[in-house]
Structure 1
Amino acid sequence: MRHSVNRPPTPDVGDDEEKQPSFQEIINIKLIESGEKERLMELLRERLVECGWKDEMLTLCRAFIKKKGRNNVTLDDLIQVITPKGRASIPDSVKAELLQRIRTFLVSASL
């Protein structure tokens, strides 16, 4: 397809058709509509506090800020450093519980 300097490219014929949502998008929509997504998020928050994960992340953040200097750290820096460590340190039991709750929801929602 050639692009003109003066006008945008002509869309392909298939682009006019409305795209069907993916299975993942359908699940997300159902979770939101039913309120289950918010219940799962609250359960996750509770479990992470119970197992000490939240305190561990707070300690990591404070150590990073102390190391770099309070005025030399941006929120983006903190997120970039802490996110991989945080994701990797979520206990398997918490992940398994959430996965089981999602599976139960999917069965009950007949998806």
Structure 2
Amino acid sequence: MTDVDAFYRKIRLRLVESGEWERMKTTIGPKLNESGWLDDIKNKGVERAGEMHQLSFQTLFEALSTAGHVGLPLPARRELQAMIREYLEKQFE
């Protein structure tokens, strides 16, 4: 694991432990739903799972993770990045 990966894991853990991650999800979730992103990911998951001979959570997660990142609406991505940036600035002042 690289230093960047370790740093990323620590930040993600802090976000979860502080409740900030849940707040971000609550803020962004409705916007993703309105944009159709959630339905798109759900449909892709159902389609991909139906194509698999042996269902594998890890394989399904990896496929949906990639599709989710690529298909994330730009306004939602920017808002989420701004919230994370603001959180990090407060943590490292």
Q: TM-score of the superposition, structure 1-length normalised?
A: 0.58
1:95 paired residue number: 77
The 2-side partners of 1:47 and 1:94 are apart by 7
Percent sequence identity over aligned pairs: 24
Query: What's the C-alpha RMSD, in Å, of the aligned pairs?
Result: 3.0
Structure showing greater relative contact order (alpha-carbon pairs closer than 8 Å, 6 or more residues apart): 2
Equivalent position to 2:22, from 8, 15, 38: 38
Unaligned runs of 5+ in 2: 1-6
1:62-91 per-residue CA deviation (whole Å, 9 max, x = no partner) reads: 11122224xx21211211222111111111
- Report the structure, 1 or 2, having the larger helix content: 2
Is 1:57 the counterpart of 2:41? The answer is yes
Q: Which amino acid aligns with 2:60?
A: L
Number of aligned pairs? Answer: 88
Q: Which of the two has higher C-alpha Rg?
A: 1
Structure-to-structure mapping, 1:1-111, within 5 angstroms: 25=10, 29=14, 31=15, 35-69=19-53, 72-105=54-87, 111=93
Q: TM-score of the superposition, structure 2-length normalised?
A: 0.66
